[in-house]
Structure 1
Amino acid sequence: MKQLKLNQSSLSIFIITVFTIVNCNSQAYTKQELQDSLAKTPYFSIYKDNYFITGVPTNKKIESTSANAKYQISFKQILTRSKLPLDTYIYLTYTQKAFWNIYEGSFPFKDINFNPSIAIGKVIYDKQERLKGLATLSLEHESNGRDSIASRSWNRISFEYTTNILKNTVATFKVWAPFAYKDGNPDLLEYTGLGEINVTHTLIPDKIMFDLNLRKGLNFEGKGSVQSRVYYNPFNNNISNQYLMLEWFVGQGEGLLNYQQSNSMIRLGYVIKTDEFRWFRGK
């Protein structure tokens, strides 16, 4: 199948722009305010978005085997809030993403990806003791739970940093050092690369948000992925962070089983959006 090419020039310009923008959040939380807020945060909470969406391909014929549903379940458990060295805290996460062929006769699950991790986090403050960023170091495992030639898995040590880059715009920069991944998927990094950038912009608070995720594979070709999302809250209030979500994924590596396959999928559905980085929205 012909590879879907990413616009590398535009991607490079975007990445350079993101890295050179200064933090301009003038209403950042102070250290004491954030510590008070963290103390009230539940030990068990949503980690990444929890959603159920369905849609069709834009790069191939639409039929029962190409249209599908995708859902994700993700949660986080804080293990300790007590004083640890360097004011860090430890937590567990679990994310499960599934691709479900609901338009086929037997409703088969095409691929299920399991992603547990253990992580240590630290809040970063500026010289005025105001929130500047959140740094995380984690040990992750991701696999599809299959055996034989369908087995896909990899492990990685990941470093993640989240900060404001513009007013109402939060970016997360993530890099990883993979290990124990060559059995079953030796060329995986050609499609996933060694990191990703995620940018979220709030157009109307609690109403409309945009999200963009970028990955570039370890190659000189257009392998990688672009995932864009639009969130819209149709309700009068949004106590539970409930939205309708439109997602467009282009590239490779959306799921582990056929990570080499080029996809262009547009999907729509329901999401309970994570409130993981709410402090970066300011007061």
Structure 2
Amino acid sequence: MRLTLSNFVNYTSFMKFHYSILCILITFISYSQSVFDQDQVIEKTMSQRWELDDEDKNGTFKLTFYKPIFVLPARWSSNPNELPQSESLENSFTEVQNYDQVEAKFQLSLKTKLIQSFLFGHGDIWLGFTQLANWQVYNDPVSRPFRELNYEPELIVNFPMKVNLFGIDLRMAGLAFNHQSNGRDLPRSRSWNRIMFHAAFEKDNFQLYLKPWIRIESSDKDDNPAISEYIGRMEANAIYNKNKHSIYVIGKNSLDFDKNRGSLEINYLYSVKSNLRLHFQAFTGYGETLIDYNHKQTTLGIGISFIDW
């Protein structure tokens, strides 16, 4: 191929872009290794992650990890959502978007305790924040846009518990006010608010989180009126850790027996060094992101993970 000025500029831009991605990954890895032990896989109990027992209390306003933190440079979709729709016509696309089947996906998630041992010394209040990004990083014809960014702040009231139920321990329960949105204008805008209840169980290397919720109906215009019929009304997270291997499964369901919908996400992680892990992710169903809340697809992703549940 003949080298032209245009080709040279494109090649230079390409190399600068991938150098930036590499720098981001190195920063993540360095930070992860500086926080955690460098030779052993650090598996934290539910009490250590949520400071349930007295010996695990760490006070307030200290940032800790919340949901899994991962980077998937390659995520393939069986059915890219090129014409996002909503029951609200204002929030429906009229032109097909030129999206690639392969994009990048990453998630950041942190929490901090605002109040410790309130209500007669039995409860904690946490502030959590999660950001999920889907990036058309390989789609040069449309300037590599972020296809979707989801922001999820939540205020969590949590109560430590020690109740044995059929051989498994109920370790905590509570509720949260959860807001999720993509911060976009029309027709991309999607958002909803929920009161989420939770109960968490633990037995040896196994953890189970059950999260039913009630949607708070919007008094103004609703970006996605039927979102509960697709993403669902309940979530279950099952986590199993064994040596260098971790599996966590996230299932969501509409709890509607006539039109049963939801999603299933399976994650497998293998520890390379300490909390740096290879991460394989498979998703099928509705609502992988807010813009896809009523769009069904199957996706496969591969990358690295730094923190899991």
Instruction: Indicate the structure with greater helix content.
Output: 2
Give the structure 2 partner of residue 139 of structure 1: 177
Instruction: Give the one of 94, 97, 101 matched to 2:132.
Output: 97
1:258 aligns to 2:296 (yes or no): no
Deviations 1:138-195 (A, max 9, x none): 101101101223211100011111112x542110000111113570101101112211
1:77 aligned counterpart, secondary structure: strand
Matches within 5 A, 1:9-158: 34-39=53-58, 43-53=62-72, 54-58=74-78, 65-85=100-120, 87-105=122-140, 106-126=143-163, 132-158=170-196
Which 5+ residue runs of structure 1 have no aligned equivalent? 1-26, 276-283
Q: Give the counterpart letter for 1:254 in structure 2.
A: E
1:185 aligns to 2:220 (yes or no): no
Deviations 1:45-65 (A, max 9, x none): 0111111112212457xx961
Distance 1:151 1:41 in 2: 34
Q: Give the counterpart letter for 2:245 in structure 1.
A: I
Deviations 1:247-266 (A, max 9, x none): 00001101111211111110
Instruction: Give the one of 174, 197, 208 matched to 1:159.
Output: 197
Q: Give the counterpart letter for 1:79 in structure 2.
A: L
Distance 2:291 2:79 in 1: 19
Distance 1:149 1:107 in 2: 20
Deviations 1:54-93 (A, max 9, x none): 2212457xx9611111111110011122443351011101
Conserved? CA contact 2:198–2:211, under 8 Å: yes
Q: Give the counterpart letter for 1:85 in structure 2.
A: F
The structure whose Rg is larger is 2
State the TM-score, normalized to the length of structure 2: 0.70
2:280 aligned counterpart, secondary structure: strand
Conserved? CA contact 1:213–1:227, under 8 Å: yes
Conserved? CA contact 1:123–1:131, under 8 Å: no
Instruction: Give the one of 199, 204, 215 matched to 2:238.
Output: 199
Distance 1:248 1:179 in 2: 30
Conserved? CA contact 1:28–1:131, under 8 Å: no
Runs of 4+ more than 4 Å apart: none
Give 1:224 deviation, angstroms: 1.0
2:308 aligned counterpart, secondary structure: coil
Report how many residues are paired.
236
Q: Give the counterpart letter for 1:38 in structure 2.
A: K
Q: Give the counterpart letter for 1:57 in structure 2.
A: S
Q: Give the counterpart letter for 1:244 in structure 2.
A: L
Distance 2:199 2:232 in 1: 17
Instruction: Give the one of 279, 294, 306 matched to 1:245.
Output: 279
State the TM-score, normalized to the length of structure 1: 0.76
Distance 2:288 2:222 in 1: 19
